[in-house]
Amino acid sequence: MLQAIPVRLPLLVRLFGDREYYSALITIALPVAVQNLVTSSLSMVSVVFIGQLGEQTVAALGLANQAFFLLNLALFGLFGGTAMFTAQMWGKRNLEGIHKVLGLSLALGLLVAMVFFTIAVFFPSQFLSIYSKDLTVVALGAGYLRVFGTSYLFFTVTFCFAAVLRSTGQVRLPVAVSVTALVINTLLNYILIFGKFGFPEMGLKGAALAGLTARILECTALVAAVYLTRSPLAARLKEMFSFDRAFFWNIFKSVLPVTAQEIAWSLGVTTYSGIYAHIGTESIAAMNIVGTIDQVGMVLVFSMGAACAVIVGNQIGAGNLQRAYSYSGWTLRLAVLIGLGVGIALQFFAPLVLNLYEVSPLVITFAQRILIVLSCILWIRSGNVILIVGILRSGGDIRFSFYLETATMWGIGVVAASIGAFVFHLPVYWVYALAMLDEATKFTIANWRYYSKRWIHDLTQTV
């Protein structure tokens, strides 16, 4: 049983951490925050570009990106699951095990990517018809997917290497490569969407081509940098794929609940998108706009969640269980405070951002009211990011995490949103508020689990 934190420590240290903790947190979280901020900001810029083409194009991009969103979440679950092992293995400096986990992650990730590649390139209209009956929106989105779908394969390789690099504390390389690729993507968006510098005006297809080009460059640069700099991940193919059946199964049975959790969660989010789209094109356009603002607002919290997972995993692997418990609690409290601050700031700055979009007044009104709801629950969502991604998963408490997130989303959030939209025919901002009931429930239960200390497991013993 873990010992309680000594009472003699100063109150602020007991609640929010000491110098050693902040040094570790900043070293990992700051580069990730920069990457996430650039990603979210440039994504918002890209949506502003697309917004100049009308709300149907904005809606088409939002729905087309559901395929990438599903892939991203599936890979986040898969690589997040394997990162539990690599973080703890790094605590023991087990390079041989890390190389095998890297190879297994690549193999499984590319299998998943092939499924989404096939859907995007060969069946885009059928996929988009699930979310919208607007034929113009479906046609625009299908044209985008046929071009952008190939990027899924390159993105998977990049994501895999970046996840393992991050779990071993090597965050600067993937951040530098990713930020550079995003800047290139944004410049190409401007050139190809609007036909600048002698290029033809391609609209939404230009955005797809820009994204594909950036993903290819990003993947090539990151893999080349890993091997040219002789990173600890620069393993030979034989070292990466020499795992036996027992190793595969021990990893896979632990990763499967995490992947299933992310798939179930992402399917829930796309179900929300389908609900919003059935309310009306203005509703899904407003949600797409708010989504980009939400990404910027959550940048720091997501970065802290990633850092918490690495720090706590490293400490558990090294056998420092009390320190792992203390570090995770400090991160949770900081994230809740940050969520409160960002929620208040959104109400001051969001109107300035909304004025950048060339959409109807009704879309702007919907977006403003959705942002009010988002501001009120942002502190709860921030806490949940740390609890689920940074604490429960890094401690190997994967089955509890899976049951908690799946049950609250599908049993509470989706049900409540569906009733609001299809039974009571509420406007989109009230439906969004009903969907967020799952976050409040999850926050309460996950906090209980954290304080019980039953989430701490040494995963390296299983392999």
Share of the chain above pLDDT 90, in %: 30
Asked whether the predicted pLDDT for residue 394 surpasses 60, the reply is yes
Alpha-helix residue ranges (DSSP H) falling in 386-436: 398-408, 414-418, 428-435
Q: What is the pLDDT of residue 5?
A: 44
Q: How much is the pLDDT for 43?
A: 65
Q: Which pLDDT does position 1 carry in this prediction?
A: 43
pLDDT tier at 116, thresholds 50, 70, 90: very high
Among 51-65, 95-109, 129-143, 175-189, which is the least confidently predicted range?
51-65
Residue 16: Cβ-neighbour burial (10 angstroms; 0-12, 13-18, 19+): middle
Cβ atoms within 10 Å of 360's Cβ, excluding its own = 15
**Residue 312 above 70 pLDDT?**
yes
Q: How many Å apart are CA 29 and CA 31, to the nearest integer?
A: 6
Token pair 């993903």 in the structure block, residue: 215
Q: What is the pLDDT of residue 3?
A: 47
The string of pLDDT tens digits covering residues 313-343 is 888 877 788 888 988 999 999 999 999 999 9
Query: Measured on CA atoms in the order 296, 298, 304, 306, is the torsion positive or negative?
Result: negative
More confident residue, 216 or 235: 216
What's the pLDDT at 462?
61
Of these ranges, 47-51, 313-317, 417-421, the one predicted with the greatest mean pLDDT is 417-421
DSSP of 168-191, one letter per residue? Answer: TT--HHHHHHHHHHHHHHHHHHHH
Q: In 286-319, which positions are buried (b, 16+ CB within 10 angstroms) versus exposed (e)?
A: bbbbbbbbbbbbbbbbbbbbbbbbbbbbbbbbbe
pLDDT of 55 above 80:
no
> Residue 423 pLDDT more than 60?
yes
Report the alpha-carbon distance of residue 399 to residue 384 in Å, rounded. Answer: 16
pLDDT(203) > 80 = yes
Percent of the chain with pLDDT over 70: 93
Q: How far apart are CA 227 and CA 98, in angstroms?
A: 16
Per-residue pLDDT at 288: 81
- Residues 79-98 have pLDDT tens digits of 877 887 888 888 777 788 88
> Does residue 276 carry a pLDDT above 80?
yes
Confidence class of residue 438 from pLDDT cuts 50, 70 and 90?
very high
Q: How far apart are alpha carbons 402 and 441 in whole angstroms?
A: 14
CB-CB neighbours of 199 under 10 Å? 14
Give the pLDDT mean for 389-396: 86
Please list, in sequence order, all residues whose beta carbon lies within 8 angstroms of the beta carbon of residue 296, skipping any fewer than 6 positions away: 37, 40, 41, 44
Q: Determine the straight-line distance between the first and last CA of the chain, rounded to whole angstroms.
A: 24
Mean pLDDT of 359-370: 87
pLDDT at 463 over 70: no
pLDDT for position 6: 47
**Per-residue confidence band for 460, with pLDDT thresholds at 50, 70 and 90:** low
Q: Does 458 have pLDDT greater than 80?
A: no
Confidence of residue 44 (pLDDT cuts 50, 70, 90): low
Mean pLDDT (whole number) for 170-187: 85
Instruction: Report the chain's mean pLDDT, rounded to a whole number.
Output: 85
Q: How far is CA 68 from CA 72, 74, 380, in A?
A: 6, 10, 26
